[in-house]
Homo-oligomer: A and B are copies of this chain.
Amino acid sequence: MSKRPTSRDVARVAGVSQSTVSIVLAGKAEGRVKPETRQAVHEAARRLGYRPNLAARNLRLGRTRTVLLVVPTLTGPVFGPIYAGAAEVAADRGFGLIVHPWPDDAGPARSQVDTQAIEGVLASSIVGGVTDFGDLPVVLMDSDPAAPAPTINFDVAGGMRAIAGHLAALGHRRIGHVAAAVDAWTFRVRGEALADAFPGSLVRRTAAIDVAAARQAALALLDRPGRPSALVCDDDVIAAGAYKAARALGLDIPGDLSVTGFDDVLLATALEPELTTIRLPAEHLGAAAMTALLELLGGRRPPGVSLPGELIVRRSTAPPASP
């Protein structure tokens, strides 16, 4: 429980001045401090278990090498991998990463985060349109590329086209779209890509991302004459609701109805039958976004990125019963 050692303590033990310690430990000794002195400093630092005081360094430098990851909710299954990817890149470059769960129901006003302690922000704008982080550099994930900030995106349009292609190849013509009732770029794009793939023949219903709401919406689509032979859902949770609607109507999946999801979260394989869906490279997205943010911090202007997903065909899709 003794006092933390400071650079002054290291200096005393190494028999040099405090400034020499600082220079050596910062790796700026090349050609300025002779090798044996460097040696002695490193040796002393190691022996004392010295670690520089961050508050002092930050005060002196006026920067913190810390970046903020804003996530809409801690429990979104995609955010674990996004964090992991971002954290690894950050660590490699000597940056800290602070996670800031942004309550879905609260504005930025409630934010506890002190912007002064942060140098940049990684945000997933699924939160809504809010992208106001003062004048901090920002990189947006899964957001409208038209935004002023660089965007690192999943290729959701491509994913949706893959689903549409899969369904079309199976012979489906009457498609129902259970869309997420969330005002976000990612869902707008899904809707547009699907509509483009089935021009004129698409029926749509929106629902909150919630099993019960999705069930209702799917029911509305299904419980009428000329019902769709396939339901394309904006995400896996919504697909779970579609399953419930099918069961309520006595429709077999995939015999009477094909269903697709989006995201490939745990649910996709917990459902019965397992769900055909799009797997998103979330960890890769996090890493790419952090790389872009560090570029931005370095004064460069990183290009936008779009990462392809992968169609995972499982047992929830099959040719329509009566074509």
A-side residues, CB < 8 A to B, are 1, 4, 51, 53-56, 58-59, 64, 73-77, 79-80, 83-84, 87, 90-91, 96-99, 101, 103, 112, 114, 116-117, 135, 211-212, 237, 240-241, 243-244, 247, 266-267, 269-272
Contact = CB atoms under 8 A, between A and B. Distances in A.
Nearest to A103: B84
B98 A112 contact: no
B247 A266 contact: no
Contacts of A96: 112, 114
> What number of copies of this chain does the assembly contain?
2
A69 to B, nearest CB: 9
Nearest to A246: B272
Given A54-B114, A74-B79, A266 B237 contact: yes
Nearest to A248: B272
30 contacts: A53-B59, A53-B116, A54-B117, A55-B58, A55-B59, A55-B64, A55-B117, A56-B59, A59-B59, A74-B74, A74-B99, A75-B75, A75-B76, A75-B80, A80-B101, A84-B101, A87-B101, A87-B112, A91-B112, A97-B112, A98-B98, A211-B266, A212-B269, A240-B270, A243-B270, A243-B272, A244-B270, A247-B272, A267-B267, A270-B270
Contacts of A244: 270, 272
Nearest to A214: B270
Contacts of A53: 59, 116
A212 B272 CA distance: 12
Nearest to A87: B112
A9 to B, nearest CB: 15
Contacts of A97: 112
A237 B270 contact: yes
